[in-house]
């Protein structure tokens, strides 16, 4: 077990080879795959509704695998789980490349969602174990930032490959290559903390859920709501841009600008959390996003839409890593992976449910109403976080110790 005293644990840069670099490589492959998935489904005969269902299987796969991911990481160890997830991702991406029908395509998407769950949990669990509390938020927010950077680079890499080869399938083979590289990097990287023990004692998921039921019913619900607001964020800007009649290229630029603002803020967010405490980031993030969601339906032209999208990206960016950090803060050392499996299930369930709120508003004839309901949820989430996020005690050098 890693020494948890302030100042102990590996140097921050020592985490790059075994955690951040493979995570970046892995996410580039996922980011390249997502934009062409609907087109691949269309090639196999799917209409728009069916293509949307195929794309929704990615978060469904994450949700289905969150709990098993905790058990797998606890049994085989975090690093082995990352390598295994990369291997399964290779299979899933290869299935997408050669799929003869929509059934095989959907199975490949589900597999990829499951590998994201296992890979993400293993990374979070590993950092929770080896990083001391005073560096924890920066480590987690950097992990979230690396995820964002990979998803930002991926579509451009995929577009380049598709242009050079003239084949959509080549984008999926690019993902196979990045998965191989991620597994190799993890395999050859030296563990920066030799005191780290990968395997944990076997603990049943139901036992973990029962033991920590009060925490999951309070702070866990707040985390689910954070996931819902974040999930809705990815849907509201494209949908409102479509409502305004903007073309696809313009919408992509607006979304990309917002994503760039989001991507740049991960390290400052972690620094504030480590120095001031988690509340200083968690609550403002939800309040800023709530204000942006209130303003979005009031925009009628491209200029105000860009401004609101940037505000939305800023709100999400300052909250980078907060869910993972809170999970690391509250995870018991002897059942860490299983606890984080339940934790990520709550966050991923919220992430999948968030766009449904917006869609429900659109279905009843008012997209603005759906967005404003999401704004109310964001405000309620800020209140829940203010009520249940643990406060930090002790002098400034020891604020990483929860009450």
- Please report, rounded to a whole number, the percentage of residues in the chain having pLDDT higher than 70: 89
Would you tell me how many other CB atoms lie within 10 Å of the CB of residue 369? 16
Average pLDDT value for residue range 295-309: 93
The reported pLDDT for the residue numbered 75 is 84
pLDDT, position 192? 61
Q: Which residue has the higher pLDDT, 247 or 375?
A: 375
- pTM equals 0.81
pLDDT of residue 396: 42
| pLDDT recorded at residue 12 | 67
Mean pLDDT value of segment 146-171: 87
**CA 176, 178, 182, 187 torsion-angle sign:** positive
Query: Residue 11: which pLDDT band, with cuts at 50, 70 and 90?
Result: low
Chain mean pLDDT for the chain: 85
Average pLDDT on 317-345 reads: 89
Structure tokens at 310: 């940037």
β-partners of residue 392 are 402
Average pLDDT over residues 369-385: 94
- pLDDT at residue number 221: 95
Q: pLDDT band at residue 236, thresholds of 50, 70 and 90? A: confident
Quickly list H helices, 77-168: 78-98, 102-130, 133-165
User: pLDDT tier at 130 (50, 70, 90 boundaries)?
Assistant: confident
Q: What is the mean pLDDT of residues 298-327?
A: 93
Average pLDDT over residues 47-59: 78
Other CB atoms within 10 Å distance of the CB of residue 207: 11
Q: Is the pLDDT assigned to residue 394 strictly greater than 50? A: no
Q: Cα separation of 324 and 329, whole Å?
A: 9
Q: Is the pLDDT of residue 306 over 50?
A: yes
CA 22 to chain CA centroid, Å, is 16
pLDDT in tens, 186-219: 999 876 655 444 445 556 667 888 889 999 999 9
If one compares 297 and 47, the residue with the highest pLDDT of the two is 297
* Burial class of residue 3 in the structure, from the number of CB atoms within 10 Å of its CB (0-12 exposed, 13-18 middle, 19+ buried): exposed
Helix H or strand E encompassing 99: none
Q: What is the DSSP string of 254-267?
A: HHHHHHHHHHHTHH
pLDDT the model gives residue 79 = 85
Q: For the chain, which domains are there? A: 1-199 (1.20.1250.20), 205-397 (1.20.1250.20)
CA distance 246 to 256: 15
**361 or 135: which leads in pLDDT:** 135
Query: Looking at residues 279-308, what average pLDDT do you find?
Result: 94
């Amino acid at each position: 077990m890693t020494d948890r005293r302030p100042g102990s644990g590996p140097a921050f840069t020592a985490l790059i080879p075994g955690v951040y670099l493979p995570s970046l490589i892995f996410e580039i492959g996922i980011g390249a795959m997502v934009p062409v998935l609907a087109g691949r489904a269309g090639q196999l005969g799917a209409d728009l509704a069916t293509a949307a269902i195929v794309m929704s299987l990615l978060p469904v796969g994450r949700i289905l695998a969150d709990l098993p991911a905790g058990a797998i990481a606890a049994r085989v160890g975090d690093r082995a789980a990352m390598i295994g997830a990369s291997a399964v991702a290779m299979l899933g991406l290869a299935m997408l490349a050669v799929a003869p029908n929509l059934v095989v395509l959907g199975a490949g998407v589900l597999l990829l969602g499951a590998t994201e769950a296992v890979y993400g949990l293993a990374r979070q669990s590993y950092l929770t174990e080896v990083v001391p509390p005073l560096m924890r938020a920066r480590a987690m927010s950097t992990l979230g930032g690396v995820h964002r950077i990979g998803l930002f680079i991926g579509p451009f890499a995929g577009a380049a490959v598709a242009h050079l080869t003239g084949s959509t399938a080549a984008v999926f083979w690019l993902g196979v290559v990045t998965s191989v590289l991620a597994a190799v990097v993890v395999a050859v990287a030296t563990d920066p903390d030799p005191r780290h023990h990968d395997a944990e004692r076997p603990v049943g998921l139901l036992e973990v859920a029962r033991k920590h039921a009060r925490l999951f019913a309070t702070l866990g619900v707040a985390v689910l709501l954070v996931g819902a607001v974040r999930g809705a964020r990815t849907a509201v800007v494209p949908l409102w841009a479509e409502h305004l009649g903007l073309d696809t290229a313009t919408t992509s630029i607006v979304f990309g600008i917002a994503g760039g603002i989001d991507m740049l803020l991960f390290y400052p967010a972690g620094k504030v959390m480590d120095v001031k405490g988690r509340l200083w980031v968690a609550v403002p993030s939800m309040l800023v996003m709530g204000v942006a969601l209130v303003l979005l339906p009031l925009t009628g032209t491209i200029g105000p839409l860009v401004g609101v999208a940037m505000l939305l990206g800023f709100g999400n960016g300052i909250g980078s890593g907060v869910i993972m950090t809170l999970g690391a803060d509250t995870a018991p050392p002897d059942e860490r992976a299983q606890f984080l499996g339940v934790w990520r299930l709550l966050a991923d369930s919220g992430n999948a449910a968030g766009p449904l709120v917006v869609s429900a508003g659109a279905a009843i004839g008012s997209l603005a109403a759906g967005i404003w309901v999401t704004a109310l949820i964001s405000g309620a989430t800020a209140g829940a976080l203010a009520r249940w996020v643990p406060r930090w005690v002790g002098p400034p050098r020891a604020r990483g110790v929860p009450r």
